[in-house]
Amino acid sequence: MVYIMTNNEVMNQIISFYRDMNGMLTFVGSYLTYGRGTGTKEVSTATANDGVDPLTSQGALTLSRDGRFLLAVNAGNHSISSFIITDSGTPVLVDVKPSGGAQPNSVDVFGNLVYVSNVGNAANNFSSNITGFHIDDNGRLTSIPHSPQSLSTFNAQPAQVLFTPDGSKILVSELTSNHLSVFNVNKNGTVTGPIVNDSYGQGPLGAYFLSSGILLVTEADSNALSSYSLSADGILHVISGSVPDGYKTACWVVPTRDERFAYVTNTLSGTISTYRIDPNGALSVVRHITSTPPGTAPGLPIDVGVSKDGRHFYTLNGNQGTVSVFKIQDDGNLVRLQVATWTNIPYLGSQGLAVL
């Protein structure tokens, strides 16, 4: 299955697609989160109000690592929704809880621990934080006392909250402060920190930890991708700093399953760049492809995902509400297969993509 989120301001919904053996998608249905999104409204004035990327985040919709649970943010009414995934791939709503702040825009889960980033809003001077929850075997959420933690500055706009591969730390990319904040995870589920690292480039947004612990971070303002190693004390060390791909707004990133390549969506350019990842984490640009076929309505790609078998890459086109489907070749090359739709008219405001 492939899931996207409408971020609808009246009632947020999860859109579900069935994924066949060849990676092609068929619309299955929509499922209410019982929370509200922001529609086309941006979560802050830090980014252009064009309706394409209202939450300005990676991880607005997240699957647990075992594929049992789907977590969604409802930025319009400051809540998060938890779904259990049935054997058929249908998401069944289990719980809705306040996010512990204002305008949640990213969520991650590791074991029985869930953390969400909150942008804040005008009423609280855009006070940003992260907040923790425990998730039980049935997908129900319990807020962790004393878990909310401020970021590097009170109004540092978070773009992603992300656990390290071993779950011992949490990284938060901060779009407006140009910081990468690292928190240590305590045994009771609270966190301490942040350990504040400067982003190599401007506008850190999407992030991904490779299995080796190497961190990839997109830079929306530098139009580039950087890689880092993370030491035990929470300090990041640059491997490749701001490798540009020649296009605008490098925002989301996901690697291939063998971690030899990474795909970055350049939203305002409508393109996807392929980066080669050397074993030591060094980056180099290989090639580019448009999200939608030449001669058709240009799609502006945002959220990304790769199938568990490593054969297919998916990206949500934020100006259409469509999902572009690509086959991944052995050399990392992308071959466009389909632009899947769930509505007959272009849909603005959608955010989040998860691949089961």
Q: Quick one: pLDDT at residue 308?
A: 94
Residue 76, pLDDT above cutoff 80: yes
Supply angle C-alpha 199, 200, 202, rounded to 5: 70
Q: Quick one: pLDDT at residue 62?
A: 98
- How would DSSP label each residue in 152-200? SSTT--EEEEEE-TTSSEEEEEETTTTEEEEEEEPTTS-EEEEEEEE-S
Q: Quick one: pLDDT at residue 305?
A: 98
Write down all domains in the chain, each with its CATH number in brackets. 2-355 (2.130.10.10)
Amino acid symbol at 153: T
Residue 47, pLDDT above cutoff 90: no
Cβ atoms of 52 and 38 closer than 8 Å: no
Residue 48, pLDDT above cutoff 90: no
Q: Quick one: pLDDT at residue 70?
A: 98
Q: Quick one: pLDDT at residue 45?
A: 82
Residue 46, pLDDT above cutoff 90: no
Amino acid symbol at 124: N
Share of residues in the chain with pLDDT > 70 (%)? 100
Segment 38-42 shows an average pLDDT of 95
Q: What is the C-alpha radius of gyration for the chain, rounded to an integer number of angstroms?
A: 18
Segment 253-273 shows an average pLDDT of 98
Segment 217-242 shows an average pLDDT of 98
pTM of the predicted model as reported, rounded to 2 decimal places: 0.97
Cβ atoms of 130 and 183 closer than 8 Å: yes
| 94-131 confidence digits (pLDDT tens) | 999 999 999 999 999 999 999 999 999 989 888 999 99
> 21 Cβ partners below 8 Å, 6+ apart?
none
Question: Distance of CA 280 to CAs 141, 276, 283, 284, Å?
Answer: 38, 11, 9, 12
Cβ atoms of 276 and 332 closer than 8 Å: yes
Element (H, E) at 289: strand 283-290
Q: Which of 237, 115, 116 is nearest to 185 (CA)?
A: 115
Amino acid symbol at 339: V
Segment 269-293 shows an average pLDDT of 98
CA-to-CA distance for 136 and 156, rounded, in angstroms? 31
Q: Which of 41-50, 91-100, 229-238 has the lowest mean pLDDT?
A: 41-50
| 151-207 confidence digits (pLDDT tens) | 999 899 999 999 999 999 999 999 999 999 999 999 999 999 999 999 999 999 999
Residue bearing tokens 């920190």:
193
Amino acid symbol at 59: G
CA-to-CA distance for 159 and 42, rounded, in angstroms? 13
Residue 34, pLDDT above cutoff 90: yes
| 3-27 confidence digits (pLDDT tens) | 999 999 999 999 999 999 999 999 9
CA-to-CA distance for 329 and 127, rounded, in angstroms? 44
> 327 Cβ partners below 8 Å, 6+ apart?
23, 311, 312, 313, 334, 335, 337
Segment 283-302 shows an average pLDDT of 97
Q: Is 355 exposed, middle or buried (0-12, 13-18, 19+ CB in 10 A)?
A: buried
- Phi, psi (deg, nearest 5) at residue 344: -80, -10
Q: Which of 46, 113, 107, 49 is nearest to 75 (CA)?
A: 107
- Phi, psi (deg, nearest 5) at residue 241: -100, 120
Cβ atoms of 184 and 171 closer than 8 Å: no
CA-to-CA distance for 300 and 217, rounded, in angstroms? 20
pLDDT band at 51 (very low <50, low <70, confident <90, very high): confident
Q: What mean pLDDT value characterizes the chain?
A: 97
pLDDT band at 313 (very low <50, low <70, confident <90, very high): very high
Tokens representing 322 are: 């469509």
